[in-house]
Amino acid sequence: MPAVVAKRVDRGSASLGEITDLAAAAGYEVVGTLTQTREEDAAYHFGEGKADELARLVVETRAEAVIVDNEVGPYQTFNLGRKLPEDVEVIDRFTLILDIFGQRANTRKAQLQVELAELRYELPRAEVKASLAKRDERPGFMGLGEYDESRERDIKSQISRIDDELADIADKEEERRARRRESGFDLVALAGYTNAGKSTLMRRLAAELDVDENDDRHPDLEETAESEDMLFTTLGTTTRRADTGKRDVLLTDTVGFISDLPHWLVESFRSTLDSVYHADLVLLVVDGSEPVPEMREKLVTSHDTLYERNEAPIVTVFNKTDRLSEEELGEKREALSALAPDPVTVSGLTGANVGDLRERIESELPDWKRERLLLPLTDDAMSLVSWVHDNGHVEREEYGDEGDHVTLEFEARRSVVERARARAAELGSPEAGAESA
């Protein structure tokens, strides 16, 4: 569908790069653009003269929609719409984002979050929309619908229902995370702005290890993570088993951040970010090929989002370094040192320095515990030895000369060490002791 893209800023110059990408992601063809630098007009958002110019541009380009890269109030939407041809729709930034989210929502959780965001967006506008719909001579103008005094009550009821269902899903996901940790997995989350290359980097980290989807220790792993050059490909979360060295790592890719998200929209998708907030380590992926001001702005916003609830270490990853010279990369590292004091620089596309990232992941994950077990040589003991191999890192496995015992020295998560120690005690282990790794 052909569309005109427009943006107003209070000062400076308006950039249309992101909104153009968002429009393309939603299936629109941008056939015209318009910008204005001035304070917001209460009636039209733009100045009335600029609104008239916008209307002429729509006629000239035969656009069927106007996409405004701002939040446009219901009265402003109504007034702009009256200046446009009758069938032309006015879509603000957040309506567009919700449209994209709706197209990408392939799971029950994602669908619920989209519905929740739409309801929270509509709630404060319900009364205004109803009154405008009653007042305008064109029935259902701009989708405002007919007046329904119960609509606000219905919206609140639906929000409550969705909140409850999402809470149930969150409880189940927390149980799954707990089971994974008990099985010896470290949970690492990828975070960052959309199109920073998170999915490509995820494929690179997991490329050397096949995922057995029938493995009952992680039954819901996805075999692939999409890496299309498209916004919001990963609206949901994709988890793969990653190879970083001696640790068993589950790596989760989440929906990308975008700029200027209002509180109500962030709240609606908060449960998607739970995989970040509850991770053992977060990799904050930044597009290293962008200009320093844009990188700085995105780092600040990402920190605000992540540090609000996250307690895990955060490692900043400058991605797409294949597009930079060594000199350019050095200048960016220095310019952003306050926000990213020790970043890992990689190229998910070429694989450059991905080995360094694996080593960094291992070093930043929570310390393992070291354990030494002396076990009687029985079938149950050998089953325990096999389990420790699967869930930790065995440094020594030595059998007694008389074939009556096995000594096992290993490192693992605290939960794994405690479980191994308990099982060893049940077997009548004569010796067990743990120390910090």
Q: List pLDDT tens digits, range 392-424.
A: 888 899 888 777 888 999 988 777 888 888 888
Do the annotations mark residue 198 as ligand-binding?
yes
Do the annotations mark residue 256 as ligand-binding?
yes
Q: What is the pLDDT of residue 230?
A: 45
Q: What is the pLDDT of residue 224?
A: 41
Residue 375 has pLDDT above 70, yes or no: yes
Residue 2 has pLDDT above 70, yes or no: yes
The CATH architecture assigned to 183-364 reads 3-Layer(aba) Sandwich (3.40)
| Residue ranges covered by each domain of the chain | 2-102, 106-167, 183-364, 369-436
47, HSE (Cβ side, Cα atoms, 13 Å) = 11
What is the C-alpha separation between 337 and 57, in angstroms, rounded? 45
Mean pLDDT, residues 2-11 taken together = 95
Tell me the one-letter amino acid at 302: S
Do the annotations mark residue 316 as ligand-binding?
no
3-state SS record for the chain: CEEEEEEEECCCCCCCHHHHHHHHHCCCEEEEEEEEECCCECCCECCHHHHHHHHHHHHHHCCCEEEECCCCCHHHHHHHHHHCCCCCEEEEHHHHHHHHHHHHCCCHHHHHHHHHHHHHHHHHHHHHHHHHHHHCCCCCHHHCCCCCCCHHHHHHHHHHHHHHHHHHHHHHHHHHHHHHHHCCEEEEEEEEECCCCHHHHHHHHHCCCCCCCCCCCCCCCCCCCCCCCCCCCCCCCEEEEEECCCCEEEEEECCCECCCCCHHHHHHCHHHHHHHHCCCEEEEEEECCCCHHHHHHHHHHHHHHHCCCCCCCEEEEEECHHHCCHHHHHHHHHHCCCCCCCCEECCCCCCCCHHHHHHHHHHHCCCCEEEEEEEECCHHHHHHHHHHHHHCEEEEEEECCCCCEEEEEEEECHHHHHHHHHHHHHCCCCEEEEEEC
Do the annotations mark residue 379 as ligand-binding?
no
Do the annotations mark residue 317 as ligand-binding?
no
pLDDT in tens, 88-110: 999 998 889 888 878 877 778 87
Residue 128 has pLDDT above 70, yes or no: no
What is the C-alpha separation between 361 and 363, in angstroms, rounded? 6
**91/390: higher pLDDT:** 91
Domain spanning 2-102: CATH 3.40.50.11060: yes
Which phi and psi (to 5°) does residue 372 adopt?
-125, 125
Contact 255, 189 (CB under 8 A): no
Q: What is the pLDDT of residue 340?
A: 93
Mean pLDDT, residues 305-329 taken together = 87
Mean pLDDT, residues 104-127 taken together = 79
For the ranges 17-21, 100-104, 206-210, the maximum mean pLDDT occurs at 17-21
Do the annotations mark residue 199 as ligand-binding?
yes
What is the C-alpha separation between 197 and 142, in angstroms, rounded? 37
**150/348: higher pLDDT:** 348
Do the annotations mark residue 73 as ligand-binding?
no
Contact 391, 181 (CB under 8 A): no
Mean pLDDT, residues 174-178 taken together = 79
- Cβ neighbors of 55 (< 8 A, separation 6 or more) are 83, 84
Fold matches, 183-364 and 369-436:
no
Q: What is the pLDDT of residue 131?
A: 61
Question: Please, what is the average pLDDT of the chain?
Answer: 81
What is the C-alpha separation between 36 and 53, in angstroms, rounded? 11
Q: What is the pLDDT of residue 259?
A: 66
Q: What is the pLDDT of residue 328?
A: 95
Q: What is the pLDDT of residue 312?
A: 80
Do the annotations mark residue 234 as ligand-binding?
yes
Mean pLDDT, residues 379-386 taken together = 90
For the ranges 27-36, 170-179, 195-204, 244-253, the maximum mean pLDDT occurs at 27-36
**263/199: higher pLDDT:** 199
What is the C-alpha separation between 205 and 251, in angstroms, rounded? 9
Residue 356 has pLDDT above 50, yes or no: yes
Do the annotations mark residue 319 as ligand-binding?
yes
Do the annotations mark residue 70 as ligand-binding?
no
What is the C-alpha separation between 251 and 186, in angstroms, rounded? 9
Mean pLDDT, residues 116-123 taken together = 84
Do the annotations mark residue 244 as ligand-binding?
no
Mean pLDDT, residues 302-323 taken together = 85
Instruction: Report the CATH fold assignment for 369-436.
Output: Alpha-Beta Plaits (3.30.70)
Do the annotations mark residue 13 as ligand-binding?
no
pLDDT in tens, 211-249: 333 333 333 334 444 444 444 444 556 788 887 877 788
pLDDT in tens, 269-297: 666 677 777 888 999 999 999 999 989 98
